[in-house]
Amino acid sequence: MAQKNFKELFDPRQSKWSGLSIQMFLGLLAIVALTVYVPFGGKEAAFLRGNFLVIFGILAVFGILFGEIGDRIPIWNDYIGGGTVLVFFASAVMGTYNLVPAKVLKAIDVFYGEQPVNFLELFIPALIVGSVLTVNRKTLLQSIAGYIPLILIGVAGATLGGVGAGLLFGKEPLDIIMNYVLPIMGGGTGAGAIPMSEMWAQKTGGNPKDWFAFAISILTIANVIAIFTGAFLKELGKKHPGLTGNGNLILDDTKEAVKEEAGPKVVVTAKDIASAFIFIGVLFMFSHISGVIWTSLKFPFEMHRLAFLVIYSIILNILNVVPAALKAGAKEIQAYFSKYTIWVLMGAVGFGTDVQEIINSLSIANLVIALAIVLGAVILIMLASKKMKFYPVEAAITAGLCMANRGGSGDIAVLGAADRMELISFAQISSRVGGAMMLILGSMVFGFFA
């Protein structure tokens, strides 16, 4: 594939702004700027209507601007993550330092993570159902059987790396495990650091905010390291093709890439896509119901609705009860969201990321220990993965980096930087099921301080 260059962006004869000509894109950019920045009648962003379509449009134009530029910066594109990572960091800087009005930031928060909109809960279910339903059933069973042990190998690698680095700075191994490894590998903020802080308080009698303040700082550092490492692993796979399945996790003994479920050729219609959209929504409803019931039964660990969605999608695939046309429609939806809306989501995640939080937590010791934890997980997984029939790059991204980031939003950022959005199902297993395992481990570790 030819290297992208800046000159083509300004050629009026080409449509390089995500399919738009420069004239058309500048027109859209002008309208977005008018909506976001121009006050009217004494009100900031007076023309903003904070509904789903408008915020989607703002984030899309913002994403195209920085995404197309980032994909053309030579070193950045090759080693940092290209347009996807530039969209994330540009939006984080603009959000942190109030370079967009507070009214716009609030609308983006609602779009991304608040009910009833929550674009993330549209994006992730579309990717999970579309990817899991179309994986070969035998391959799916093999991957699940070996994937949980792979996560545990990653946790062991993270612990070894963190303890080793901690000793260089005079820190006790138990301190490293409790205050560094657990928050980093714990499944993110909401499902990891927050419940862990409550466990810590219950076991030690301290204030949960004391543990959480440091935990969120070190987790933030690790999240950024994980994003950069995802971009690095993408380039590593390009230079050493034997290490990657190019988005496939399972190492096929025949040396062929894992294929989608074999079956009759299906011509996908608009009706199939509409039916699949409804199917995904109802399956997500059932997964949420399951999560609520699970919580009410007071089991010793949480099962997130997205974990149930992965499980139900796997069961439906194995039982082969979903018609081929519906599977094909779900695959089209998955392809659309993973390919055409990733910059929208990266912008939304970035605007909610506090750059100052990252800066405040930076110290040589914290940076080295967090780096050692992330790389420890990645290296040990890559060393063990081929013996477990997984591609090293994909295994390190899902079982390693997607354990060491900030949960759902971190998964999106890492997979986006690695250009491996099709691995979202395994990323969710890491964040949800792996995170649940870390809560159990955390309860045991905190017990030493009781």
- The ranges assigned to domains in the chain are 7-118, 123-259+266-449
Q: What is d(CA 83, CA 419) in angstroms, rounded to the nearest whole number?
A: 11
Backbone φ/ψ region at 18: left (φ over 0), alpha (ψ -120 to 50), beta: left
- Report whether pLDDT(324) > 50: yes
Q: What is d(CA 447, CA 200) in angstroms, rounded to the nearest whole number?
A: 8
Q: Which residues pair with 17 in a beta bridge?
A: 20
Q: What is d(CA 200, CA 18) in angstroms, rounded to the nearest whole number?
A: 48
Per-residue model confidence (pLDDT) at position 299: 77
Q: Mean pLDDT throughout 81-105?
A: 89
Strand, helix or coil at 450?
coil
Q: What is the mean pLDDT of the chain?
A: 84
Predicted confidence (pLDDT) per residue in 196-233, tens digit: 777 777 677 776 766 776 777 788 789 889 999 999 99
Q: What is d(CA 165, CA 343) in angstroms, rounded to the nearest whole number?
A: 35
Predicted confidence (pLDDT) per residue in 96-150, tens digit: 999 999 999 999 988 887 666 678 788 878 888 887 887 777 767 766 778 889 9
Matching residue, tokens 């509904």: 51
Per-residue model confidence (pLDDT) at position 116: 65
